[in-house]
Amino acid sequence: MLTVYSKPNCIQCEMTKMWLKQNKIEFENVDIEANPGAFELLKHYGYGSLPVVVIDDEFNDPKKAWTGFQVDKLEELMR
């Protein structure tokens, strides 16, 4: 499962979600402002910027978790 942790009015968050939708890749969006526990989870793993994209809750695997709008990593999801 692909999860995108984001917040409203975050350009990189919106770009990431738009790219995923355009490429028909299913994902769950977690708004960290509406879910304070998610914000605490991200802080626990050392994330300080958004969005955080995570595959199968593998927060510690750099191949399965990253921050920002990274097209190269998103394109790898299509392989």
Q: What is the pLDDT of residues 48-71, one digit of tens each?
A: 999 999 999 999 999 999 999 999
Per-residue model confidence (pLDDT) at position 17: 98
- The pTM of the full predicted model, rounded to 2 decimals, is 0.95
> Class for domain 2-52+63-69, per CATH?
alpha beta
Q: Please compute the mean of the pLDDT values over residues 3-14 and round it to a whole number.
A: 98
Q: Where are the domains of the chain?
A: 2-52+63-69
Per-residue model confidence (pLDDT) at position 31: 98
The share of the chain scoring above pLDDT 70, in percent, equals 100
Distance between CA 79 and CA 66 in Å, rounded?
17
Per-residue model confidence (pLDDT) at position 56: 96
Q: Are the C-beta atoms of 47 and 63 separated by less than 8 Å? A: no
**Pairing of β 28-31 and β 2-6:** parallel
